[in-house]
Amino acid sequence: MDAGTSHEGIPLTTIRVWRELGGRGTVLGPLFRASAHPADPPLPTQSPVLQLLLNAEVFAPEALGLQNVLVGGGEIVWMGTDVPDMPNSLGVTVEDLQGARMIPGFVDGHAHVTGGGGEAGPETRVPCVPLSKFTSAGVTTVVGLLGTDDVTRTTGDLLAATRGLVAEGLSAFCYTGGYHLPPTTLTGSVRGDIVHIDRIIGVGELAISDHRSSQPTLDELLRVASDAHVAGLMTGKAGICHLHMGDGERGLDLVRRALETSELPARVFQPTHMNRRKALFEEGLELVQRGCSIDLTAFPVEDGEDAYSAEDALERYLEAGMPSDQISVSSDGGGCLPTFDGDGRVVKMDVGEPATMATSLAELLRRGHDLDRVLPAYTTNTANLLRLKGKGRICMGGHADLVVLGPDGLPQDVMLAGVWHKRGGKTVVFGTFEQSGVMNV
């Protein structure tokens, strides 16, 4: 038991509020969860004061209009159009957001928190991604993973980087494995890692249709996906197999065959980078109809490239009338974005940035899309697929991971578990080594 929570995992601030308000059911009823979900992040040990945020135009992601939002103990303890009558003894701070748009923090389902890369020699290993690269860009929940380099990078290293981010205030989870089979693990099996290790919620990014993959066979894919699925059943965690899609012509063939020849539910297979090739994206639409969720990467796309930007792909997806809850956008932050020649040599290299989720959403707003229509792909959809309770939504009892957008549609203020990490466009909380000169950001 830590200082900020009761023995039942209920934030002490919440209990204080409940007592002061005489336990008004409509106000605090939804908060009393019997037990924390196994994938829930720990609540903050130092609960900030109660904060009442007035006149936020809330997108939950549904458009809820102007709302007053009361935050305490790392959660949203109340939300409504009235101004609640709060006793002075509670020490509430009140702030008027003057109609600014408030959205849930971004849920980034694919980031190389340890740094990815290494495709062109050890000097191309990308450094660890520091806290504020995520938080200043509005990312409040992240899933870390290993990619091409699952040899010099290990599951233990990834888990430590993930736990480091959690200690610094971010909600962070990770996958076991990496591009290759047999998968790199900590306990010796994918199932063991997901069952025994709190932060590990699935397996990935397992590479298919890529020259950098281990060229997995159908049986190999089924074995690893079933391990993830069964471990998910045992723990209540996501239990998914997050698939890195390469540029190969085989596209989603292996996934279709996995669905046709096994009893595994379609939700277990989540292919990512689905906008990297136009034909692959079209294949993805068909896979969605079979029940899978697909993930887009918000990477830069140049004119004339055989790829869609995440914005273009999401636009096409929604215009085609596809189910709005089976698509997501992630950043590939910290990952290496190499361009290969015909012999598989790297000819150019970029590094993925967590900020691309925010710039991608802002671009969709600039194009005139309704925020409530495009926002689920950046928030709720990933939280739901990954079974991250309290994440990706603004609601009573949900985690107080909030982003206030500026007039340009970019994150201006960012709150994680009730703590402001960015205010008025300036980052105010940094990771351990970010300001020491050890790490340049």
Q: Which is nearer to Zn ion, 199 or 244 (CB)?
A: 244
Q: Closest separation between CB of residue 367 and Zn ion, Å?
A: 27
Q: Closest separation between CB of residue 337 and Zn ion, Å?
A: 9
Q: Which is nearer to Zn ion, 149 or 205 (CB)?
A: 205
Q: Which is nearer to Zn ion, 101 or 244 (CB)?
A: 244
Q: Closest separation between CB of residue 387 and Zn ion, Å?
A: 22
| H or E segment to which residue 336 belongs | strand 336-340
Closest CA to 194 of 155, 157, 228: 228
Closest CA to 357 of 414, 398, 304: 414
Q: Which residues are catalytic?
A: 332
Distance between CA 218 and CA 220 in Å, rounded? Answer: 5
| H or E segment to which residue 55 belongs | strand 51-59
| H or E segment to which residue 312 belongs | helix 310-319
Interface with Zn ion (CB under 5 A): 205, 244
**CB-based closest residue to Zn ion:** 244
Q: Closest separation between CB of residue 414 and Zn ion, Å?
A: 26
Distance between CA 118 and CA 386 in Å, rounded? Answer: 28
Please identify which residue in the block is written with the tokens 């103990």. 73
Distance between CA 347 and CA 339 in Å, rounded? Answer: 6
With H, G, I as helix, E, B as strand and everything else as coil, classify residue 408: coil
Query: What are the respective helix, strand and coil percentages of the chain, to the nearest 5?
Result: 30, 25, 45
Q: Which is nearer to Zn ion, 205 or 434 (CB)?
A: 205
Q: Closest separation between CB of residue 346 and Zn ion, Å?
A: 15
The alpha-carbon radius of gyration of the chain (Å, integer) is 21
Q: Which is nearer to Zn ion, 230 or 346 (CB)?
A: 346
